[in-house]
C-alpha cells in the first residue's frame, strides 16, 4: 500500500515530534495529529511557533516548515481516522494506580479506547501502528478488538516503538540508530511492514530499519530502557561507596567507560533518573516477569527502581544533615525542575521527590527552571498527594531569574543539568547568599575546585 495519508492519535511528547519529522521528510504525505485535549491542539496551532507545547531543540523549526501544508493538528479524531491509511497510536500508557498490577502494570485504557474508536469509524482497510510504550502482546489485544468490533474491514497491527531521548528527540528522529518495525509473519503482515518501511526510507537508510515479529519489537523497547536505567542505578550505587571512601565517582566512571565492552554512556552519577519511560518500562518488565512466575527476574529488575528511589531520598537527606539537621524555615534554591536538560518534561523528575522531602521538613523552596512553569510544578507536587495543595503553594516559589532565586538562600540544589548553569557568575551568587553558602550538585555539573575557591561548601554526588 502506497501511504499518502497518516493519522496520529495523541499529540504528546512522542506523537507531536515524530509526526512533525515525518511530515517534513515526506511532503507527499498528509499527516494529521489528533487529540481530544483542545488546549493542547490549540497550543500546537499557536501562531507563535515558539509557544508550541513541547520544548525540544529544533522542533519549532521542523513544525513551522510543514504546519498548514501537509502537517495538521486537529480535534476532529473521527475524520482523521476515516481518511487515513496508516494510523499511529501514540497515547499515554501510565503505570496503573488501581486494581491488578497496581504500581507496576501499564494502564491500557487509552489504548483500548483508541482501538474501539478506530474500529467504529473505519470503512476501509488500515494499518495500525503501536507507537506508545506498551507491554508485550498488546498488539494481540488491539487486533482482537479491531477484528471483533469493527465494520468488517481488515486491519494489520505493527509495533514501531520510539527510542527518543528527550532533549535530543529531533536529532534522534532525523538520524536514528535504528527504526524497529514488528509485524505478523504473514503475506499481509509483510505488506504492512513494507508500507511503513517505505515511509521511513525517505530519510533513514534501509540498513537501519530492523524488521521483526511483533512480540520481539514490543519487548525490545522495554529491554532497551531497562538496560539504560540499570547503568544509571549501577553508577549511583557506586557513588555512595565513593562517598564513604576516597574514590571519586567521576574518575571511576571515566575509567570503566573507556573499556570498549562497557562504553561511557549512561555512566554519569546523579540524583537519579527520571522521565516517562525508564521507571514505567522497568515496572512493566517486573509485572510481566511476575505474571509468568519469574520472581527472581522480577526482583532483579525491581532493584534498579529501588536504587533510583534510594538515590533521590539520600540526596535530600544529605541536604538536611549538612544544614545542621534542620531546614525548617530555611530557603533552599532549586536550579532545575525538568527531569533532564533541553526539555520541559517533568515526569518522574528527581526534583519533585527532593522538594517533597524538604517541604516535609518545612523548608522553603525557591525554584528556577528556564522551561518549566509554576502550574506544572504545583501539579507535580499535588500528584504525590503528600499534603494539601495550599501547603505546596506556600512552600515553593518560582522565579524568572536564577539570581533572585538564590538571593538570601541557605543552600542551592542543582537538579537539572541545564548548560546555562555552568555559565553563571557564581562569585556573585555566593555574595548574595547567606553564609555559610552550600551547593548540593545532584548532577555533577560544576567544577568542584572552582566552587571551593569561591567559598562555597560544595558537595556533589560521589564526592
pLDDT (tens, 9 = 90+) of the chain, 463 residues, equals 899 999 999 999 999 999 999 999 999 999 999 999 999 999 999 999 999 999 999 999 999 999 999 999 999 999 999 999 999 999 877 777 788 777 776 677 788 888 889 999 999 999 999 887 655 556 777 877 787 766 778 999 999 988 888 899 999 999 999 999 999 889 999 999 999 999 999 999 999 999 998 888 888 888 999 999 999 999 999 999 999 998 999 999 999 999 999 999 999 999 999 988 899 889 988 988 998 999 999 999 999 999 999 999 999 999 999 999 999 999 999 999 999 999 999 999 999 999 999 999 999 999 999 999 999 999 999 999 999 999 999 999 999 999 999 999 999 999 999 999 999 999 999 999 999 999 999 999 999 999 999 999 999 999 8
- The strand ranges marked E within 255-347 are 331-335
Query: Residue 406 catalytic?
Result: no
* pTM of the predicted model as reported, rounded to 2 decimal places: 0.85
Nearest to 125 by CA among 212, 217, 191: 191
Query: Residue 265 catalytic?
Result: no
Q: What is the CA radius of gyration of the chain?
A: 23
Query: Residue 341 catalytic?
Result: no
- The strand ranges marked E within 304-433 are 331-335, 364-368, 396-398, 411-414
What angle is formed at CA 295 by the lines to CA 294 and CA 298, rounded to 5 degrees?
A: 90
The cell numbers describing 153, all together, are: 474491514
Other Cβ atoms within 10 Å of 106 Cβ, number: 24
Contact 217, 159 (CB under 8 A): yes
Nearest to 18 by CA among 53, 65, 62: 62
Distance CA 123, CA 115 (A): 14
Contact 461, 249 (CB under 8 A): yes
The cell numbers describing 199, all together, are: 515511509
- The strand ranges marked E within 305-376 are 331-335, 364-368
Nearest to 413 by CA among 374, 455, 364: 364
Return left, alpha or beta for 337; rule: phi > 0 is left, psi -120 to 50 is alpha, else beta: alpha
Distance CA 365, CA 372 (A): 15
Q: Which of 26, 114, 277, 406 is catalytic?
A: 277
* For the chain, the helix, strand and coil percentages under 3-state DSSP, each to the nearest 5: 45, 15, 40
Q: Which of 162, 243, 302, 348 is catalytic?
A: 162
**CA 391 to chain CA centroid, nearest Å:** 27
Q: Which of 221, 280, 331, 364 is catalytic?
A: 221
Amino acid at each position: 500500500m502506497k501511504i499518502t495519508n497518516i493519522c496520529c492519535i495523541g499529540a504528546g511528547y512522542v506523537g507531536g515530534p515524530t509526526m512533525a519529522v515525518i511530515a517534513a521528510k515526506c511532503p507527499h504525505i498528509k499527516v494529521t495529529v489528533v487529540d481530544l485535549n483542545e488546549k493542547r491542539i490549540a497550543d500546537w496551532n499557536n501562531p507563535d511557533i515558539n509557544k508550541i507545547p513541547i520544548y525540544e531543540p529544533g522542533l519549532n523549526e521542523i513544525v513551522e516548515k510543514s504546519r498548514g501544508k501537509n502537517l495538521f493538528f486537529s480535534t476532529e479524531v473521527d475524520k482523521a481516522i476515516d481518511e487515513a491509511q496508516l494510523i499511529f497510536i501514540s497515547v499515554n500508557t501510565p503505570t496503573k494506580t488501581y486494581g491488578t498490577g497496581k504500581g507496576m502494570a501499564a494502564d491500557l485504557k487509552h489504548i483500548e479506547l483508541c482501538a474501539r474508536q478506530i474500529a467504529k469509524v473505519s470503512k476501509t482497510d488500515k494499518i495500525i501502528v503501536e507507537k506508545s510504550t506498551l507491554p508485550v502482546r498488546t498488539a494481540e489485544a488491539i487486533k482482537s478488538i479491531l477484528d471483533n468490533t469493527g465494520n468488517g474491514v481488515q486491519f494489520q497491527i505493527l509495533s514501531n516503538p520510539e527510542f527518543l531521548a528527550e532533549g535530543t528527540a529531533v536529532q534522534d528522529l532525523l538520524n536514528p540508530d535504528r527504526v524497529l518495525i514488528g509485524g505478523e509473519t504473514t503475506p499481509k503482515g509483510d505488506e504492512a511492514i513494507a508500507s511503513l518501511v517505505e515511509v521511513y526510507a525517505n530519510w533513514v537508510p534501509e540498513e537501519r530499519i530492523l524488521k521483526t515479529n511483533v512480540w520481539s519489537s514490543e519487548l525490545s523497547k522495554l529491554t532497551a530502557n531497562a538496560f539504560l536505567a540499570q547503568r544509571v542505578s549501577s553508577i549511583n550505587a557506586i557513588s555512595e561507596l565513593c562517598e564513604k571512601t576516597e574514590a571519586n565517582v567521576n574518575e571511576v566512571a571515566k575509567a570503566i567507560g573507556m573499556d570498549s565492552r562497557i562504553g561511557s554512556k549512561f555512566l554519569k552519577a546523579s540524583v537519579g533518573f527520571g522521565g516517562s519511560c525508564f521507571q514505567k518500562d522497568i515496572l512493566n518488565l517486573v509485572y510481566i516477569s511476575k505474571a509468568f512466575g519469574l520472581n527472581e527476574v522480577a526482583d532483579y529488575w525491581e532493584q534498579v527502581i529501588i536504587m533510583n528511589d534510594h538515590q533521590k531520598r539520600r540526596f535530600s537527606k544529605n541536604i538536611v544533615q549538612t544544614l545542621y539537621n534542620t531546614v525548617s524555615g530555611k530557603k533552599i534554591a532549586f536550579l532545575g525542575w525538568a527531569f533532564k536538560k533541553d526539555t520541559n518534561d517533568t515526569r518522574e523528575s528527581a526534583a519533585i521527590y527532593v522538594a517533597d522531602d524538604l517541604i516535609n521538613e518545612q523548608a522553603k523552596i525557591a525554584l528556577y527552571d528556564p522551561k518549566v512553569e509554576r502550574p506544572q510544578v504545583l501539579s507535580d507536587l499535588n500528584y504525590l498527594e503528600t499534603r494539601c495543595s495550599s501547603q505546596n503553594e506556600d512552600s515553593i516559589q518560582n522565579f524568572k531569574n536564577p539570581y533572585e532565586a538564590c538571593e538570601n538562600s541557605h543552600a542551592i540544589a542543582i537538579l537539572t543539568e541545564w548548560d546555562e548553569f555552568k555559565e553563571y557568575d557564581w562569585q556573585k551568587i555566593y555574595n548574595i547568599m547567606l553564609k555559610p553558602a552550600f551547593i548540593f550538585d545532584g548532577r555533577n555539573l560544576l567544577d568542584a575546585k572552582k566552587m571551593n575557591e569561591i567559598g562555597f561548601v560544595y558537595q556533589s554526588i560521589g564526592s
